[in-house]
Amino acid sequence: MSQPSPSQPGRPREFNEDEALDRILSVFWEKGYDGTSLADLVDATGVRKASLYKSFGNKRQMYIKALEAYESRAIDQVCDELERDGAALKKLDWFLSLPGQARWQEGDARGCFLCNASADQAAFDPEISKIVRNGQTKLSSAIELALGSLPKQPRQDATKATADFFLGVYTGLRILARGGADIATLDGIRMQAMTTVRV
Amino acid sequence: MSQPSPSQPGRPREFNEDEALDRILSVFWEKGYDGTSLADLVDATGVRKASLYKSFGNKRQMYIKALEAYESRAIDQVCDELERDGAALKKLDWFLSLPGQARWQEGDARGCFLCNASADQAAFDPEISKIVRNGQTKLSSAIELALGSLPKQPRQDATKATADFFLGVYTGLRILARGGADIATLDGIRMQAMTTVRV
DNA sequence: GAGATAACGTACCGATCGGTCAACAATATG
DNA sequence: CATATTGTTGACCGATCGGTACGTTATCTC
């Protein structure tokens, strides 16, 4: 997927576009769109400004491509876990424990880039909103699939709402965690949310 | 609270500080900290830059004072509603309907400034984090008080967790709404959350 | 009145912002 | 080899960034 044509006419690129995008993603993730400068991205990637522009377009395109990369890497990985065989309750509990885990076990205050983007640029940029909602839909669908193997089945027409509910709680937890909420609060919310599907 | 000394030595201020802070609040609310420039604030208030600095200090202080004003105006108002006499279920349902209401009935995409701040500056600014958590605690306490008149009482030791749970769902709804989630999704989440306290 | 005090208005500061340009270097094809 | 193509480089662009210095103006107390 990375080198579709192993030999092209002009001078070959001296940096790995995927690696650079990963670094860019990481900066936007931590600092948000407006909090990130091109100089930050140059520092993070080690790639000169003009080369970044040549590869990615402009700052907004870099943000969009970073967000899409996040969805097709981090988010898809979470979806895979949710869709894997296993106890539904356990998977959902694991999903809701991610925000507290990241914040207080791993010391990662960035939260979830998808959630951040939903609070950041998605509000007034329709294209970014679309990408954000796409990522949220992917998550919700994976949750819905996990709900299929639940001991206590929600009513057929309510499974989508239940899946959205878990997405909503997850999003709230991520934002509270980024704001500094303590682990006891996050755990309490998680356990309370789990009662909606526990027998 | 606004004019503690009706006559002071020097030249009197020509603008109303509270009004100016309201305008400042509105801009930070919509655009976030880094997305807001001093020029934006000058335009919104009609007050020259130097006068804003004289009154409020610097940009960060303006943000902090705006956030505190939001908590002692908008948030306290919501807390009052939650603490007022009335059916607990109705009040909680109303609370969780605010995000969808604002976004899709009033066309207000800004969300909740407190939630935005939790995703914005609170992550890496301890002082702002403290203010954010203070606002969240106020909300949670008001919810807890509302829960006191619930038909189906949660276990004594679980009322705080239940209150935090509603705060978490509220926060998630605000972020999803700001990202553009449709009203059906938001309503589904709200109704699903309500089942945790409905008999 | 005089003097103290404080806000106003404007011009200005160096730094940084996102973005571009043209010269140059490295690879392809013929 | 020549030529086409593309990436790299560093200088450069005007605009804007957050913040300040200073002279002017309005109000206070005496």
Q: Give B-chain residues touching A136 at CB under 8 angstroms.
A: 176, 179, 181
Protein-covered nucleotides on strand C (Cβ within 7 A): 3-11, 16-22, 25-29
For A27, the token pair is 């900066």
Q: Please indicate, yes or no, whether the overall pTM of this predicted structure exceeds 0.75.
A: yes
- Picking from B134, B147, B164, B198 by the largest number of A CB atoms within 10 A of its own CB, the best residue to mutate is B164
- The closest nt to B8, taking CA to C1', is D28
Q: What average pLDDT does chain A have?
A: 94
In chain A, the percentage of residues whose pLDDT exceeds 70 is 96
Check CB contact of A108 with chain B, cutoff 8 Å. no
Helix residue ranges, H only, A75-156: 76-83, 88-100, 113-119, 126-147
Q: Give B-chain residues touching A169 at CB under 8 angstroms.
A: 165, 168-169, 172
Check CB contact of A198 with chain B, cutoff 8 Å. no
Nearest by CB to residue B122, choosing from A32, A169, A178, is: A178
pLDDT tens digit string along A104-130?
A: 999 999 999 999 999 999 999 999 999
Strand D lies under 7 A from the Cβ of residue B38: yes
Question: Using an 8 Å Cβ cutoff, are B96 and B170 in contact?
Answer: yes
Per-residue pLDDT 10s for chain B (199 aa) are 434 445 788 888 999 999 999 999 999 999 999 999 999 999 999 999 999 999 999 999 999 999 999 999 999 999 999 999 999 999 999 999 999 999 999 999 999 999 999 999 999 999 999 999 999 999 999 999 999 888 777 777 789 999 999 999 999 999 999 999 999 999 999 999 999 998 7
Distance A50 CA to C18 C1' (A): 11
CA atoms within 13 A on the CB side of A102: 22
Question: Using an 8 Å Cβ cutoff, are B155 and A153 in contact?
Answer: no
Distance B55 CA to C6 C1' (A): 11
Binary contact (B123, A109; C-beta < 8 A) = yes
**Residues 6+ away with beta carbon under 8 Å from A33:** A59, A60, A63, A120, A121, B34, B35
